[in-house]
Structure 1
Amino acid sequence: MLLNYSQTGQGPNVVLIHGLFGSLDNLNIIAKALSEHFTVTNVDLRNHGHSFHDDAMDYPTMANDILALMDHLGITDTHLVGHSMGGKVAMQVAMLAEQRVNRLVVLDISPVAYHARHEAIIHGLNAVSKSPQLNSRSEADKLMAQDIDEPGVRQFLLKSLTKNSESRFTWRFNLAVIAANYNKITSNINETHSCLCDTLFIKGNNSDYILPEHKSAILRCFPKAKAKVINGAGHWLHAEKPQAVNRSIIDFLQ
């Protein structure tokens, strides 16, 4: 099975990979900017967006999904840009097929294992899934607010709320599989060797996803890694500071 994707632009190839609970729409602001210089392939990861649902969800498996799509599209080599979980998928692609990755951009994530930090989100999402009398998105928002304080996070999640064939609200992402594989999602990438592709890690200065103690792991995996900090941005740096992030990506890839 192939991942759902969209393509825009002309020029050297760039593949964009979104994060957990997201979809390709989340990176459209990057896709639009890059499409002026590159052929941009924006993907929905498995169990997300309009891509297929499957019980397996680990980084080598998700990386092989990207490689299979590249094969299908005739993309022999490409730049990769990934945010959060998508950044880990991009790093895993580079580990599995370094010769097919020209340059790698990782948005606000390290190759390390993380402590669980989405329990409240998963609880709130499950509350919506288990509510049989849900009549509107605003009701879903109020229900999630019992677990998820940040309105911006709830609005991001609500982008994946849709109606099924029975006109009941349901999540487009595969919540059950994501929850079952959460330990794999928060784990480190499968480090097979030191990848020598040119790599840029972009961090939001208000985010705690890339920390000083991650430096040794980053340089062990990607010895040629460089870093860029976006001031005034958190984990959702591409949404909070799109011009600065897009400029940093384009400058690095060109």
Structure 2
Amino acid sequence: MSILDLSFSEAGEGPPLVILHGLFGNKRNWGAISKVLSKTYRVLSVDLRNHGESPWDEEMTYPAMAGDIAGLIEKQIGGPARVIGHSMGGKASMILALEQPDLVEKLVVADIPPAPRDSGLMAYVTAMQELDVAGMTRRSEAEEALAPAIPERMIRTFLAQNLAPAEGGGLTWKINLDVIEKAMPNIEGFPDIDSDHAFEKPSLHLTGANSTHVLPRHHAEIERLFPNSEIEAIPDAGHWLHAEQPALFLEAVESFLS
């Protein structure tokens, strides 16, 4: 398993805090949140492998992602960090905490359980792959072309954030769609973890009250693997709870981390 040198942006001074995005996301998605948190913390917002400005690799498993994050923490921080992970980044952060607890001081997991889940996101991958982005010049063209497959405007705008100008004209995806397509069973899954590897330090598991990602049946598994955990729902929020209710999300996170 190769350890990749991840791209990240940094802001603020203070105790180190690492932020990990979800599938199809990148470090820029967390700009508003990291700006607030950087008043108290040294915030490192990270691009996970096959996303953003980080390297691409054929392996797309949670142990591989956790290995990348561990390498970044060891290289850039040199000791334990507070970690926030959303969705796919939340699963990667949980594996990091379970496998290398000495690198995680406190853990915040946003709207994802330590369990497999059929996400339905392969439809997004297919829709993105089928676009002729090389013939486009603006993200808005891609958003419009995605509309028949993805009616939700917010999701189309989010996905189009992964487009960038290509050398020689047109646009190109800054996300490794072919590897993500092959790795979707890994991304939707979660490794089997023995109770002996439970993360004993504090963890906060935030859910969107309107989201179906974390259900009451998942609470026992969260408590088994994270015995020192709090589970809290953000009202009037779905899966993208940090974007839908940023003030409430920040209030919960800042209260827990301090």
* Cα displacement (A) at 1:120: 2.0
1:55 paired to 2:47: no
Aligned length: 253
Over 3 Å counting, the alpha-carbon distance change for 1:44 and 1:190 in structure 2 is farther
How far apart, in 2, do the equivalents of 1:42 and 1:21 lie?
Answer: 15
1:230 paired to 2:234: yes
How far apart, in 1, do the equivalents of 2:229 and 2:14 lie?
Answer: 24
Do the aligned residues in 2 keep the contact of 1:60 with 1:190 (CA within 8 Å)?
A: no
* Cα displacement string for residues 179-209 of structure 1 (whole angstroms, at most 9, x for unaligned residues): 1101100001452421111010011101001
Corresponding residue SS for 1:173: coil
Query: Percent of pairs identical after alignment?
Result: 37
How far apart, in 2, do the equivalents of 1:137 and 1:252 lie?
Answer: 37
1:89 paired to 2:92: yes
How far apart, in 1, do the equivalents of 2:144 and 2:101 lie?
Answer: 45
How far apart, in 2, do the equivalents of 1:28 and 1:134 lie?
Answer: 27
Return the match for 1:30 from 33, 37, 55: 33
Return the match for 1:239 from 234, 238, 243: 243
Do the aligned residues in 2 keep the contact of 1:161 with 1:172 (CA within 8 Å)?
A: yes
Letter in 2 for 1:220: R
How far apart, in 2, do the equivalents of 1:97 and 1:51 lie?
Answer: 22
How far apart, in 2, do the equivalents of 1:244 and 1:185 lie?
Answer: 28
Match of 2:45 in 1: 42
How far apart, in 2, do the equivalents of 1:69 and 1:117 lie?
Answer: 31
Letter in 2 for 1:215: H
How far apart, in 2, do the equivalents of 1:73 and 1:8 lie?
Answer: 13
How far apart, in 2, do the equivalents of 1:115 and 1:25 lie?
Answer: 26
Letter in 2 for 1:80: V
Over 3 Å counting, the alpha-carbon distance change for 1:217 and 1:141 in structure 2 is same
Letter in 2 for 1:66: I
Corresponding residue SS for 2:89: helix
Root mean square deviation of aligned Cα: 1.3
Match of 1:216 in 2: 220
TM-score by length of 1: 0.96
Which runs of 5 or more residues in structure 2 are unaligned? Answer: none
* Cα displacement (A) at 1:168: 2.4
Do the aligned residues in 1 keep the contact of 2:108 with 2:206 (CA within 8 Å)?
A: yes
Match of 2:144 in 1: 142
* Cα displacement (A) at 1:143: 1.6
Do the aligned residues in 2 keep the contact of 1:127 with 1:143 (CA within 8 Å)?
A: no
- Bigger mean CA offset, 130-139 vs 92-101: 130-139
Do the aligned residues in 1 keep the contact of 2:205 with 2:229 (CA within 8 Å)?
A: yes
1:3 paired to 2:6: yes
1:194 paired to 2:198: yes
TM-score by length of 2: 0.94
Q: Which runs of 4+ in 1 moved over 4 A?
A: none
How far apart, in 2, do the equivalents of 1:185 and 1:112 lie?
Answer: 11
Return the match for 2:109 from 106, 131, 142: 106
* Cα displacement (A) at 1:115: 1.0
